[in-house]
């Protein structure tokens, strides 16, 4: 081999070795960056940055938590608006957890088989947009509409919906904390008086079985309880729900519930829902707390094909600023309570009217008369109170929060049956339940508002920006052409 050939061979070997080293360094640097990376948000927008409270919860996790982002944004305005923010904040949870939090993304449109497997595992529909928080087989399911408040005020005038507040961190961290705490809440449904049955077959249209499935998603156990046959109230009860009794309770049963409301060692948690056209003996049981169930039917007049008729389904239109209903007022939706009676709120009481009907409704006492008219002497004029709440642990003067009885009263129970269950009424019920179980996300993590950064330029600044935008590429092009001509010479 001549010296010239040897030099060429050495040169080629050096080139191969150099390229090999370059490729090795490229993959090594990327691998190290993938395995051992550091993330820091240096932007002005801290929208998806985790708070100190969340970081403390994450750092003390005793075992792995799985966050399943089960969502298809098509057809869901909320999911479309916040999907990327949800993905970003889930990435923050995974990064700061040091492998204690696993994040799974499931999209039925991309991988139907995987979506079907997760839907069967967590009992969700492939049409739902939810975050599933799974800890040691216990799960809590958070709907996307719980992750943000959407402003729809401009939609009616041709504008677009926008995010008012982003609450994903608050919801996810609270769910993790409640699951890691270990103890499931126990909710009992009163039975023995024709109440709606949460353990009924899903095929039973008047049952509460669909509602029961959603309750279980909140890491809550449910059971039925008969005050007479089982003797008093159970010790492990966290919430008692009385859902539409059709026959009257015995005086001793009413007395048991009254004593339960007066407890101080473990304050009462009670939800009473009474349908119209029934007498349960509980109509005045909440009178000491400022609420009376009226014996009437909420109705309004509607015109169909020129004929005026009475309409007996109540659409909740006005909502109080309260943990149970605040989300509804911000979202601009109505809640259909179906056939309902009105409630009276006594002056000077701590009761809060949660939901009001439109002003056109009135409380009709002549329930069987299809041609009834508002009688100011017997009937109650609108707007009517359809639902109310009592919080004996709230002090309005000193801002101090004490532990006391929590009560929710609703003038309807049929709005939750399998045949009629809808999204807004379901959310109203679940919010009521979580509020009474003290699971209304009271960790002190505030909802975050999106920040908009606007740049305002004067006419002179706009002209200067335009000239720079044109001149810089043009200068590069001219220099390139000069160099090209020089090389050709």
Which range (5-9, 15-19, 83-87, 249-253) has the least confidence? Answer: 5-9
Q: What is the pLDDT of residues 12-21, one digit of tens each?
A: 788 788 888 8
Longest dimension (CA), the chain: 121
52-178 belongs to which CATH class?
alpha beta
Query: Is it the case that residue 185 has pLDDT exceeding 50?
Result: yes
Query: Is it the case that residue 49 has pLDDT exceeding 50?
Result: yes
Position 397 confidence tier, pLDDT thresholds 50, 70, 90: very low
Query: What pLDDT does 184 receive?
Result: 83
Token match 């009276």: residue? Answer: 344
Domain layout of the chain by residue ranges: 1-37, 52-178, 184-421, 458-489
Matching CATH number, 184-421, of 2.40.160, 3.10.350, 3.90.75, 3.40.50: 3.40.50
Query: What pLDDT does 443 receive?
Result: 47
Query: What pLDDT does 56 receive?
Result: 81
Please indicate whether the domains covering 52-178 and 184-421 agree at the CATH topology level.
no
pTM confidence score: 0.72
Q: What is the pLDDT of residues 349-393, one digit of tens each?
A: 999 999 999 999 999 999 888 788 899 999 999 899 999 999 987
């Amino acid at each position: 081999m001549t010296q010239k050939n040897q030099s060429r061979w050495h040169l080629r070997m050096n080139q191969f070795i150099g390229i090999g080293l370059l490729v090795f360094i490229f993959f090594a640097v990327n691998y190290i960056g993938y395995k051992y990376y550091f993330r820091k948000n240096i932007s002005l927008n801290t929208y998806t940055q985790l708070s100190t409270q969340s970081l403390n919860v994450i750092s003390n996790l005793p075992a792995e938590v799985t966050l399943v982002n089960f969502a298809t944004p098509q057809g869901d305005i909320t999911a479309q608006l916040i999907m990327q923010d949800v993905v970003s904040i889930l990435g923050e949870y995974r990064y700061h957890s040091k492998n204690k939090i696993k994040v799974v993304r499931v999209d039925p449109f991309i991988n139907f088989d995987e979506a079907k497997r997760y839907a069967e595992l967590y009992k969700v529909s492939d049409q739902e947009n939810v975050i599933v928080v799974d800890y040691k087989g216990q799960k809590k399911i958070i709907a996307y509409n719980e992750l943000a408040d959407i402003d729809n005020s401009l939609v009616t005038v041709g504008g677009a919906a926008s995010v008012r507040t982003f609450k994903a961190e608050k919801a996810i961290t609270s769910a993790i904390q409640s699951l890691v705490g270990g103890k499931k809440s126990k909710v009992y449904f009163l039975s023995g008086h024709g109440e709606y049955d949460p353990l009924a077959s899903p095929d039973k249209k008047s049952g509460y079985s669909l509602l029961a499935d959603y309750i279980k998603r909140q890491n809550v156990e449910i059971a039925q309880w008969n005050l007479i046959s089982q003797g008093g109230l159970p010790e492990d009860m966290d919430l008692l729900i009385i859902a539409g009794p059709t026959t009257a309770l015995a005086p001793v049963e009413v007395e048991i519930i009254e004593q339960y409301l007066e407890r101080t060692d473990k304050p009462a948690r009670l939800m009473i829902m009474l349908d119209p056209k029934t007498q349960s003996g509980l109509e005045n049981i909440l009178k000491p707390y400022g609420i009376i169930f009226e014996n009437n039917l909420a109705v309004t007049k509607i015109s169909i094909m020129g004929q005026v008729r009475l309409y007996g389904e109540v659409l909740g239109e006005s909502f109080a600023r309260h943990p149970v209903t605040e989300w509804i007022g911000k979202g601009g939706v109505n809640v259909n309570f179906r056939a309902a009676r009105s409630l009276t709120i006594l002056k000077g009481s701590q009761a809060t009217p949660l939901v009001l009907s439109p002003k056109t409704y009135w409380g009709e006492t002549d329930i069987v008369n299809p041609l009834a008219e508002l009688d100011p002497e017997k009937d109650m004029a609108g707007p009517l109170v359809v639902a109310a709440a009592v919080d004996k642990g709230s002090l309005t003067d000193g801002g101090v929060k004490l532990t006391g009885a929590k009560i929710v009263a609703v003038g309807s129970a049929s709005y939750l049956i399998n045949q009629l269950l809808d999204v807004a009424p379901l959310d109203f019920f679940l919010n009521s339940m979580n509020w009474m179980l003290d699971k209304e996300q009271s960790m002190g993590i505030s909802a975050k508002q999106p920040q908009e950064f606007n740049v305002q330029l004067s006419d002179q600044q706009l002209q200067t920006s335009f000239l720079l935008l044109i001149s810089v590429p043009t200068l590069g092009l001219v220099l390139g052409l000069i160099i090209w001509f020089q090389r050709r010479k």
